């Protein structure tokens, strides 16, 4: 047998002898590991109690129409704005029969070409057509928006639809002027209230409205008339009106016709001159500054920061900073390296912004700055070093709309029990075991 083979055999024997002997461990063993402890908190009731903030009321609010105006209607607009809360207000301005302007001219003498006929609507007492229409109220909406300084409508478009005899619209013969009035007994013009000033208008087919204002309006307004204006600057004033009325004037310019066109003109003038305003009020806003929605500094006394536990309570159940009554908690905190707050936000309102997270009430010395901040939709996490987990440790959340941020208020869902915002919380405590046993 070669030396090489003998050596291999000896190795096998030695291995077998070792396995047959008792296993002796050293007196001390060092164990190193980094387990994580996950504490799911769900959606605690204490977080949801404060979620009924005023801005959520926009989803249910709507303007009130003037009770003494039977020619105005409001519809829930479920057309081109998708699930954004929007309304359409239809206001009838006027309807005028122009046929009385046509006199019965004497027949022309034989062999003589009759002169052209000049139709002067002003001398006939038909032009201008003017008046004031009672409009709608914004008190409920302004009450909510007034609590959040800096919240602005992005756009409140208004369209003028007009129809009538084709002949009178040629060469820009019909013009419109519209002024917005404060919807009070004074009916005074508002600042920058001249919305249209002798602007030429063209005929446009009216939209198809539901049979009842209890029915939602579907579809779109496309194509829209060229004659339009925007009310956002009026509604976004520092002291916006509680309601709006409209003063209007429709001017019909003179037209000239041939004598032999008179029968066709008489038939054409059986169509009355009609005009309506269609106002679209979508709940689409822009934050002109960082706006506290739920915060300790909020102007709404009921819209405080939301918190996990009552003030003064500790997430780890401690009664003091050096509480040793719970050895398990004490051991966990001693071994803790960091803490991760995991948050998932279900946003059913359409708010866009951010939410600072604090370890104590935000206006206290211990919480001069947030532990971190999260978006108002989807999952996110905030890692907190051990040095920031003071006593008492709680979770406080504020909500802000960010300056320049656009957002839409969604139409209320079918399930009234679904909150506008829902927080699901979890805590991950990252520990480190490095001990000699």
Residue 27 to residue 34: CA distance in whole angstroms: 23
What is the model's pLDDT at position 301?
Answer: 65
133-180 per-position pLDDT tens digit? 989 988 888 888 888 888 899 999 999 999 999 889 987 889 999 999
Q: Give 104-130 pLDDT, tens digit per residue.
A: 555 666 777 778 888 888 888 889 999
Query: Does the pLDDT value for residue 24 go beyond 60?
Result: no
CA distance 138 to 231: 13
pLDDT number for residue 237 = 86
How far is the C-alpha of 118 from the C-alpha of 115, rounded, in Å? 9
The rounded distance, in Å, linking the Cα atoms of 372 and 355 is: 9
- Of residues 47 and 285, more confidence is placed in 285
The reported pTM is 0.79
Which residue, among 41, 38, 56, 37, has the nearest Cα to 376 in the 3D structure?
A: 56
pLDDT digits (tens, 9 = 90+) for 302-339: 678 888 888 888 887 778 877 656 555 666 777 777 88
Per-residue pLDDT, averaged over 228-255, amounts to 90
Q: What is the mean pLDDT of residues 261-268?
A: 84
pLDDT per residue as tens digits for the range 345-383: 888 888 888 999 998 888 877 777 899 999 988 999 999
User: Are the beta carbons of 249 and 130 closer than 8 angstroms?
Assistant: yes
Q: What gap in Å lies between CA 96 and CA 272, rounded to an integer?
A: 5
Alpha helices in 21-48 (DSSP H): 45-48
Domains and CATH numbers, the chain: 32-50+305-436 (2.60.120), 57-101+114-287 (no CATH)
d(CA 343, CA 377): 10
Q: Which residues contact 214 (CB under 8 A, 6 or more apart)?
A: none
């Amino acid at each position: 047998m070669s030396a090489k083979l003998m050596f291999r055999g000896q190795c096998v024997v030695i291995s077998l002898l070792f396995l047959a002997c008792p296993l002796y461990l050293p007196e001390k063993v060092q164990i190193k590991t980094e387990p994580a402890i996950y504490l799911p908190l769900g959606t605690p009731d204490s977080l949801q109690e404060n979620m009924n903030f005023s801005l959520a009321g926009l989803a249910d609010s709507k303007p009130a129409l003037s009770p003494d105006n039977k020619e105005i209607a409001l519809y829930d607009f479920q057309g081109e704005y998708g699930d954004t809360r929007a309304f359409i207000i239809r206001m009838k301005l006027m309807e005028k029969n122009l046929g009385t302007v046509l006199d019965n001219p004497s027949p022309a003498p034989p062999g003589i070409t009759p002169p052209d006929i000049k139709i002067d609507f002003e001398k006939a007492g038909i032009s201008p057509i003017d008046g004031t229409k009672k409009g709608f109220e914004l008190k409920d909406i302004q009450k909510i928006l007034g609590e959040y300084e800096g919240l602005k409508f992005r756009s409140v478009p208004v369209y003028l639809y007009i129809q009538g005899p084709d002949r009178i619209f040629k060469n820009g013969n019909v013009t419109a002027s519209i002024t917005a009035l404060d919807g009070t007994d004074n009916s005074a013009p508002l600042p920058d209230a001249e919305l249209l000033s002798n602007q030429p208008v063209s005929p446009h087919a009216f939209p198809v409205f539901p049979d009842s204002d209890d029915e939602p309006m579907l579809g779109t307004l496309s194509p829209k008339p060229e004659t339009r204006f925007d009310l956002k600057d009026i509604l976004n004033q520092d002291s916006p009106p509680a309601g709006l009325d409209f003063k209007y004037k429709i001017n019909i310019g003179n037209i000239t016709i041939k004598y032999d066109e008179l029968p066709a003109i008489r038939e054409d003038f059986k169509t009355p001159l009609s005009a309506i305003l269609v106002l679209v009020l979508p709940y689409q806003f822009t934050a002109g500054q960082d706006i506290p929605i739920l915060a300790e500094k909020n102007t709404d006394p009921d819209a405080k920061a939301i918190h996990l536990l009552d003030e003064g309570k500790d997430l780890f159940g401690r009664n003091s900073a050096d509480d040793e009554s719970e050895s398990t908690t004490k051991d966990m905190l001693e071994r803790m390296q960091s803490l991760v707050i995991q948050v998932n936000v279900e946003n059913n309102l359409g708010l866009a912004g951010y939410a600072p997270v604090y370890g104590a009430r935000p206006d206290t010395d211990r919480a001069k700055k947030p532990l971190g901040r999260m978006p108002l939709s989807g999952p996110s996490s905030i890692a907190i070093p051990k040095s920031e987990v003071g006593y008492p440790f709680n979770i406080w959340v504020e909500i802000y709309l960010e300056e320049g941020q656009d957002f839409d208020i969604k139409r209320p869902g079918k399930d009234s029990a679904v909150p506008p915002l829902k927080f699901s919380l979890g805590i991950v405590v990252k520990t480190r075991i490095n001990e000699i046993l």
